[in-house]
């Protein structure tokens, strides 16, 4: 049984049909990448899974339970956490305070304390900057903070929306190394990314979305070697 199943999902923004009968699944322990051009509907899909927008029809099933109509707070409690596009860190709050906000639904004080230390171990720069206003961090540091904050919710699956956006190439590689490390340590990942080459390089499986539809799927290796994908997304 898949950890996360999207079945025949449709989303409309007024008269715009944003998602069209989308079917995807993510198995426990996988990194699944979703690639496609800007405006293809990738972020809309993550928002639909997270309960941030209304679905027209179809189902979202997580760990065998239909969560299609569940609210965003309960979806986080169930184990799905999203790292939004553009990082969305809280300005005027310290790095530490941002991390604590990731655990706002938790009551286990000792567990939260231990997980803060785990985040600091994973991202040493955040420990160095723990008392610094989060808005003064570099783009790469803010992305690390956004990922660390999401991990504070102890997700079973992490939804990552364009983690490499706006980052220098050397930082992009570092962020994807972190994604792989998070996955190896037990967190399933659904990754949305315009950098198709990097997204496919870390993916166990991947889907290609065009104008709200899934048009191709396969292993990361299969898609990266596909002539069609190379021409459309890899500059081949």
On whether residue 33 sits in a domain, the answer given is yes
On whether residue 210 sits in a domain, the answer given is yes
Could you please report the per-residue DSSP string of 87-112?
Answer: ----TTSBHHHHHHHHTTT---HHHH
Domains: count for the chain: 1
User: How deeply is 60 buried, as exposed, middle or buried, from its count of CB atoms within 10 A (0-12, 13-18, 19+)?
Assistant: buried
Answer whether 39's CB lies under 8 Å from 203's CB. no
**pLDDT grade, residue 139 (50/70/90)?**
confident
On whether residue 205 sits in a domain, the answer given is yes
Mean pLDDT value across the chain:
92
Residues facing 216 on adjacent strands: 208
Average pLDDT over residues 172-178: 89
On whether residue 172 sits in a domain, the answer given is yes
**Could you tell me where the DSSP H helices lie in the chain?**
42-50, 72-78, 95-102, 109-122, 124-128, 139-151, 169-184, 196-202, 220-225, 227-233
pTM given for the model? 0.91
User: How deeply is 112 buried, as exposed, middle or buried, from its count of CB atoms within 10 A (0-12, 13-18, 19+)?
Assistant: middle
Nearest to 5 by CA among 29, 30, 20, 22: 22
Average pLDDT over residues 185-207: 94
Domain that holds residue 11: 4-88+156-233
Q: Are strands 57-62 and 4-13 parallel, antiparallel or unpaired?
A: antiparallel
pLDDT 10s digits, 67-123: 999 999 999 999 999 998 877 888 899 999 999 999 988 889 898 999 999 999 989
Cα 122 to chain centroid distance, Å, stands at 18
On whether residue 98 sits in a domain, the answer given is no
On whether residue 36 sits in a domain, the answer given is yes
pLDDT at 41 over 60: yes
User: How deeply is 148 buried, as exposed, middle or buried, from its count of CB atoms within 10 A (0-12, 13-18, 19+)?
Assistant: buried
On whether residue 170 sits in a domain, the answer given is yes
On whether residue 204 sits in a domain, the answer given is yes
CATH number at residue 41: 3.40.50.300
- Categorise residue 176: left if φ over 0, alpha if ψ from -120 to 50, beta otherwise: alpha
Residues facing 52 on adjacent strands: none
């Amino acid at each position: 049984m898949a950890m996360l199943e999207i079945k025949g999902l449709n989303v409309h923004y007024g008269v715009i049909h944003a998602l069209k009968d989308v079917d995807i699944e993510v198995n426990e322990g996988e990194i699944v990448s979703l690639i496609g051009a800007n405006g293809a509907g990738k972020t809309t899909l993550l928002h639909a899974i997270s309960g941030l927008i209304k679905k027209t029809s179809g189902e979202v099933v997580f760990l065998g339970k239909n969560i299609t109509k569940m609210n965003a707070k309960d979806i986080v409690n169930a184990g799905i956490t999203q790292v939004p596009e553009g990082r969305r860190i809280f300005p005027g709050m310290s790095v530490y305070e941002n991390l604590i906000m990731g655990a706002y639904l938790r009551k286990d004080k000792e567990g939260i304390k231990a997980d803060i230390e785990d985040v600091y171990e994973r991202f040493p720069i955040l420990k160095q900057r723990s008392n610094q206003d989060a808005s003064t961090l570099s783009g790469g540091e803010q992305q690390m903070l956004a990922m660390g904050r999401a991990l504070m919710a102890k997700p079973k699956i992490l939804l990552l929306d364009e983690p490499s956006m706006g980052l220098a190439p050397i930082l992009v590689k570092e962020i994807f190394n972190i994604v792989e490390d998070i996955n190896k340590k037990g967190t399933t990942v659904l990754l949305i990314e315009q950098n198709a080459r990097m997204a496919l390089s870390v993916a166990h499986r991947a889907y290609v979305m065009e104008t709200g539809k899934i048009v191709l799927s396969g292993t990361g290796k299969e898609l990266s070697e596909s002539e069609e994908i190379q021409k459309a997304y890899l500059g081949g």
